[in-house]
Amino acid sequence: MRLAIIGLGRMGGNIARRLLSGGHEVVAYDRDPEARSNLAAAGAEVAGSLEETAIMLAPPRVFWVMLPAGAATENTISGLLELASPGDAIIDGGNTFFKDDIRRARVCGLKDVNYLDVGTSGGVWGLQRGYCLMIGGETPAVAALKPIWETLAPGLGTVPRTPDRGEADEDPRAELGYIHAGPAGAGHFVKMVHNGIEYGLMQAYAEGFDILKGRASERLPEDERFSLNLTDIAEVWRRGSVISSWLLDLSAAALAKDNMLEPFTGRVSDSGEGRWTVEAALEEAVPAHVLSAAVLARYRSRVDTTFADKLLSAMRYGFGGHVEIPQ
């Protein structure tokens, strides 16, 4: 198929490359000329503006927007909607909040433009491994783009088949690595929860290794202290243990490179999706203790001290004369 990729950063650039390798024709656009010429070198046709992008496609056009969530995506999609004709499709492949998708799909629908939201997991590895795709939108629009989904998704690969899958299966696409999750917003909703889970998993491993490391603490009785080799522990858990996973593989690699993780500041960003997952849980009254705690731990990692901590010190001073004041 022929389609446009708008936004040629780490994610968009690799998606364009994987589509090119899969035999698709890509019209590539980015505000940054260097990003454009990189893609030209990879075989894409390059556009100099959104307008030019639209002209270089024939209806029904397909625009895949791959930009940071927020103003960049919002403005680009508004711009594309101006240029779009009935039957065209606008795909938001970024990390948009699902309620924004619901709103946008309504607006696009007024012009008979199809709006699709595609949650895309796979990170910098997706170019080789393929991308796990969670798609929201109207069924005919999703079906029309099947060749694109099949190229981007990992495919059956070497993943062992899930037992009992045969009978329960409503949608064979899941085994190829993509799903049509539901109407507009559903794709990003599923991707959002994916990331919320990701935060929880990461925090579980991180706390576990912290406890392993802390076992060498001189605070402990001498015969209850261990000085453990975290690198080897991560490695051995990759083999036959219940907690093997790709995130553990990455942890093992990081520890193999530097078992103290010295280069990292430990000020951990969050992309918004962990927080939205917790907000969704709050809306639904789901008691998501672990997913919330994982988001809050990241918040705490980014400040030296909190006002809350100071107020605790102040109260302790108030009732017990405990001094937590620099002397």
Catalytic machinery residues = 191, 198
The residues in 184-243 that bind its own copies, with binding defined as CB under 8 A, are 185-186, 189-190, 193-194, 196-215, 217, 219-220, 223-224, 226-229, 231-233, 235-243
Burial of 248 from C-beta contacts in 10 A (0-12 / 13-18 / 19+): middle
Q: Strand pairing partners for 119? A: 134
- Closer CB to its own copies, 32 or 232, in the complex: 232
Backbone φ and ψ for 155, nearest 5 degrees, come out as 80, 180
Examine residue 102 and tell whether it contacts its own copies (CB under 8 A): yes
161 CB-contact burial (10 Å; exposed 0-12 / middle 13-18 / buried 19+): exposed
Is residue 142 close enough to count as binding its own copies by CB under 8 A? no
Q: Is residue 68 near its own copies by the rule CB under 8 A?
A: no
Instruction: Establish if 263 lies at the interface with its own copies (CB under 8 A).
Output: yes
Q: Is 107 in the site for its own copies (CB under 8 A)?
A: no
CA nearest to 294, candidates 210, 197, 199: 199
Stretch in the footprint of its own copies (CB under 8 A) among 19-27, 67-75, 87-95, 165-173: 165-173
Nearer to its own copies, 37 or 271 (CB): 271
* Residues binding its own copies: number (CB under 8 A): 159
Residues 6 or more apart whose CB falls under 8 angstroms from that of 86 comprise 111, 112, 113
Instruction: Choose, by CB under 8 A, the member of 26, 50, 116, 252 that binds its own copies.
Output: 252
* 67 lines the binding site for its own copies (CB under 8 A): no
- Judged by CB under 8 A, the stretch of 42-50, 69-77, 138-146, 285-293 that binds its own copies is 285-293
Kindly list the distances between the CA atom of residue 117 and the CA atoms of 66, 99, 242, 307, in Å, as whole numbers in the listed order: 11, 11, 34, 39
Element (H, E) at 102: helix 98-110
Tokens read off for 172: 């064979």
Q: Name the one range near its own copies by CB under 8 A: 27-35, 56-64, 138-146, 290-298.
A: 290-298
- Which stretch in 17-25, 60-68, 137-145, 150-158 sits in contact with its own copies by CB under 8 A? 150-158
Q: Residue 51's closest CA among 84, 73, 18, 74?
A: 84
CA 123, 127, 131, 136 dihedral sign is: positive
What torsion, rounded to 10 degrees, do the Cα atoms 35, 40, 46, 48 define?
40
Closest to its own copies by CB, 23 or 166: 166
Question: Does residue 163 touch its own copies according to CB under 8 A?
Answer: yes
| Residues 292-311, mask of contacts with its own copies (x by CB under 8 A) | xxxxxxxxxxx-xxxxxxxx
Q: How far is the CB of 154 from its own copies (least distance, A)?
A: 4
Output 60 or 123, the one with its CB closest to its own copies. Answer: 123
